[in-house]
A and B are shown apart, each in its own frame.
Chain A
Amino acid sequence: MDHRYDVELVKVTKRYGTTVAVDAISLRIPPSTYCCLLGPSGCGKTSTLRMIAGHETISEGDVLIRDVNVTDLPPARRGTAMMFQSYALFPHLTCLDNVAFSLKMRGVAKAERHAKAREYLSLVHMADFAARLPAQLSGGQQQRVALARALITRPRVLLLDEPLSALDPFLRVKMREELKRLQRELGISFIHVTHGQEEAMALADLMVVMEAGHIRQAGAPREVFETPASAFIARFIGGHNVLPGQSGMIAVRADRCRLGPPGDGPRVTGRVAAVEYQGPVVRVALTTEDGLEAAALLPDHDFDRAPVGPGDVATLSWPEGAAHQLAG
Chain B
Amino acid sequence: MNVRQLVSPWSAGAGAAMPIERRRALPKLPNWAVSWLQVGPLAAILLVLFVLPTVLFLVVSFFDYDRVGIYPAFLLDNYAELLTTPATLRVYVSSLKFAAIVWALTLVIGFSVAHFLVFHVRSPILRTIFFLLCAIPFWTSGIIRTIAWIPFLGRNGAFNQILMATGITDRPLEFLLFSDFAVIVTYVHLFTLLMIGPIANSLAKIDPALIEAARDAGASRWQTLVGVIIPLSKTGIALGSILVFTQVMGDYFVVKTMSGGQSASIVSMLSTEIQAMQYPPAAANAMVLVVFVAVMVGFMMRVVDVRKELVK
Contact = CB atoms under 8 A, between A and B. Distances in A.
A184 B217 CA distance: 23
A85 B219 CA distance: 20
A305 interface: no
Contacts of B3: 275
Contacts of B227: 101, 104-105
Contacts of A84: 209, 212-213
Nearest to A50: B212
Interface string A122-150: 00000000000000000000000000011
A88 B213 contact: yes
Interface stretch (A10-18, A75-83, A234-242): A75-83
Given A90-B210, A105-B223, A75 B228 contact: no
A91 B206 CA distance: 10
A74 B215 contact: yes
A302 B213 CA distance: 53
B123 interface: no
A86 interface: yes
Contact of A88 (B207, B218, B223): B207
A99 B219 CA distance: 14
A101 B209 contact: no
B211 to A, nearest CB: 9
Interface in A15-66: 53, 55
B235 to A, nearest CB: 11
Nearest to B231: A92
B116 to A, nearest CB: 21
A310 B2 contact: yes
Nearest to A307: B1
A106 interface: yes
A183 interface: no
B82 to A, nearest CB: 43
A94 interface: no
Given A92-B232, A102-B218, A105-B217, 13 more contacts: A55-B215, A75-B212, A75-B218, A76-B216, A76-B217, A81-B216, A82-B212, A89-B213, A91-B232, A101-B219, A104-B227, A153-B217, A309-B1
B3 to A, nearest CB: 8
A102 B217 CA distance: 5
A74 B220 CA distance: 10
B214 interface: yes
A101 B232 CA distance: 15
Interface of B: 1-3, 6, 207, 209-210, 212-220, 223, 227-228, 231-232
Contacts of A90: 210, 213-214, 228, 232
Contact of B219 (A53, A80, A86, A105): A105
B217 A149 contact: yes
Nearest to B3: A275
B217 A86 contact: no
B122 to A, nearest CB: 12
Contacts of B231: 92
A53 B216 contact: yes
Contact of A82 (B2, B207, B216): B216
B107 to A, nearest CB: 19
Contacts of B1: 309
Given A104-B227, A105-B223, A310-B2, A88 B212 contact: yes
Contacts of A106: 218
A73 to B, nearest CB: 12
Interface in A280-328: 309-310
Contacts of A275: 2-3
B210 A88 contact: yes
Contacts of A150: 216
A174 B51 CA distance: 59
A106 B227 CA distance: 13
Contacts of A105: 214, 217-220, 223, 227
Contacts of B2: 275, 309-310
22 contacts: A55-B215, A75-B212, A76-B215, A76-B217, A80-B216, A82-B212, A84-B209, A84-B212, A84-B213, A86-B207, A88-B207, A88-B209, A88-B210, A89-B213, A90-B232, A101-B214, A101-B227, A102-B217, A105-B223, A106-B218, A153-B218, A275-B2
